[in-house]
Structure 1
Amino acid sequence: MDREEFVKQMLKYSASAGDIETNIVHILDYMGRKLEADRTYIFEKNIEGSSDNTYEWCSENAIPPKDQLQNVGHEGLLDLWYDEFGNNKGIFIENLEEYKEISSPMYELLKPQDIHSLIAWPIFVDEICIGFLGIDNPLRKHMEDVVRIFEMVGYIMSIIIRQRDNVRMLRKLSYEDQLTGVKNRRELDTFGTNEYARVYSVGILSCDLNGLKRINDTLGHEAGDKYIIKVANNLAKIFGHNYVYRMGGDEFIALAINLTAAEFELNVDKLLKIMEKEEIPVAAGYIFKADNTTEFYSLIDEADKKMYEDKGRYYSDTKNERRRTGI
């Protein structure tokens, strides 16, 4: 194998202007085919202290095992590998049967995958090992080549993973509300532009926290923020994180996609009961359409109008109650 050409192609993929996630898969594809392997893949550490198989390429004869390789434990399994990775060393298994003496648990994990040889190399981002790149059953004649080029390949993959993480962070900052973690107004615009035309039905709930100024004035803005977060969490619990949008301040929009009117109204009822139980005063207005023929923002305006009517009733009742009690 021409090692110089191999590395050149890897660099070409890493510098591609295409989608980074797609570029990663292309690199794994190129590696797997060039080294005549059964499978190439990436594992990454997760927040639970284990590792997930995040990307893979498989040959036509291999069964993709990625879905079964999530939350793979470190203790008794990958901890041995990560110890080696921490010393800037890779894992080279030329004969899996011989590896049984080194780590029986890892042998038991690899054997059912029909692995008889394997190479894994650490991926570092900012000098921290975040996971590893692996290749299963490369053709024996390529083993020496793989050993010699994997350090460079691991370095290239580290750069790409860092780029991917930066893109994800920028997207998160652009489309996610920083206080509550739900989506923001810009992402609602994205839904209206790109997705609304493909839905079969839509329910729209406009929700607003009542009395926020009073909460801020009496308990402080931190307490007000906690109430806003509670509203967001309850909306996400009922309508799903992907369909809740903070429009600014204490105003939210929640969408229900492709439900029946009865299902949507049941969700609204569940939400209001949760808010009442947790003593979170909200105003709500909603509308349901069994098709997508009405302009999206006209529906938003109609739900908003009903919400403000509800808010008006709340403040009118509150004012009358204060008059009655003299408070």
Structure 2
Amino acid sequence: MGKINHEKFITDMIRYASSAESPEHIINQILKYICENLKSDRAYIFEDNGDGTYDNTYEWCREGVTQEIDNLKNVPYDGALEVWFREYEKSHNIMIQDLEEYRKVSEPMYQILKPQGIKTLVTGPIEINGKYIGFYGVDNPPAAYMNNTSVLINMMEFVISMMIRLRDYAKVVERSATHDQLTNCKNRRAMQWVYDTEFDKEQSMMVVMCDLNGLKKINDTKGHGFGDRYICDAVEILNACFETENVYRVGGDEFVVILMGAKPEQIEQYTEKLNMYQELKKISMSFGFAYRHNAKEPFDNLLREADRKMYQEKEKYYREMGKISRK
């Protein structure tokens, strides 16, 4: 007992990593493989939140073992995990063969590990570009597997760090395809979900069309840099009123807001809020609202209605501006 074919283990890791599956799926498959082959209760990955805490982001448990991933969020570095990262610098992995003995090393870590039913543990860091961005490990490998597990933990770091790099790169690519570069708003492509996605059509839908007033004049007289700032200020207003995930930039100065589960009386509330923010920010926008009690009607119908009402508001704005300019 305790003998593991290292060559086969790493070959299998590389085979997983080179598959055509998504990085997220591969990471979970690798953890499953690690957990099963190291006869452990749990295999997991923790990642740096960038605020001095770490989250358990991936986990695989053998049958009958309680999942801990939802309980292990915002684990502090200071006073807890720092003891592990200091040890990583010296030996690159940590092998706990008796948790009760380890209590003498770190009481804070003991208090985190003990409620999880951990008796033995092996963990190693995840390093990217010379910086530790997290760690991974297995809980309760059998005593006979401990030395093998320690060796394999070191060997697995490359594969795990590579998959996290690929995952992060995929997220960047996906975000660039669905978000506007200037404003960070979702773009027209991201709005395609309304046409393609199956969702509860019984819920209400509100569509808001928005167009900035006077942007061309600002670009012509003050420059496009000032115009870009004007657009970004307008987006801050839309995000504050409707929340970021509901706002889409569909043209140079055109935006669409899609609200599911909205109520008709909110139109007046949103209008008052928008007017208040515009006055504070010295931004001028025209809006049009379209509302339906359910989302069964084609989305384009609501979009056209909101667009028509928005242009009515825009015409009204320019008529008023014309009166002012003639005074």
What does residue 260 of structure 1 align with? 263
Which one of 3, 15, 33 corresponds to residue 6 of structure 2?
3
Does the Cα contact within 8 Å between 1:36 and 1:138 map onto a contact in 2?
A: yes
Q: Percent identity?
A: 38
What does residue 66 of structure 2 align with? 63
Does the Cα contact within 8 Å between 1:245 and 1:254 map onto a contact in 2?
A: yes
Which one of 298, 301, 319 corresponds to residue 298 of structure 1?
301
CA distance in 1, matches of 2:189, 2:268: 26
What does residue 77 of structure 1 align with? 80
Does the Cα contact within 8 Å between 2:54 and 2:76 map onto a contact in 1?
A: yes
Which one of 193, 196, 199 corresponds to residue 193 of structure 1?
196
Unaligned ranges ≥5, structure 1: none
CA distance in 1, matches of 2:229, 2:286: 17
Which one of 274, 279, 284 corresponds to residue 281 of structure 1?
284
CA distance in 2, matches of 1:199, 1:240: 22
What does residue 19 of structure 1 align with? 22
Tell me the SS of whatever aligns to 1:65: coil
| Root-mean-square deviation over aligned CA pairs | 2.1
Offset from partner CA, 1:289-321 (integer Å, 9 cap, x none):
222332222322221121111111111101101
Q: Which amino acid aligns with 2:40?
A: A
Verify: 1:107 aligned to 2:110, yes or no.
yes
Tell me the SS of whatever aligns to 1:317: helix
CA distance in 1, matches of 2:89, 2:273: 50
Name whichever of 148-157 and 125-134 sits farther off: 125-134
Displacement, 1:147? 1.1
CA distance in 2, matches of 1:100, 1:306: 68
With normalisation by structure 2, the TM-score equals: 0.91
CA distance in 2, matches of 1:77, 1:89: 18
Aligned residue runs from structure 1 range 1-327, under 5 A: 1-86=4-89, 89-195=92-198, 198=201, 200-263=203-266, 266-324=269-327
With normalisation by structure 1, the TM-score equals: 0.91
C-alpha distance 88-223 of structure 1, shift in aligned 2 (>3 A): farther
Q: Which amino acid aligns with 1:38?
A: D
C-alpha distance 157-195 of structure 1, shift in aligned 2 (>3 A): same
CA distance in 1, matches of 2:49, 2:141: 27
Does the Cα contact within 8 Å between 1:215 and 1:223 map onto a contact in 2?
A: yes
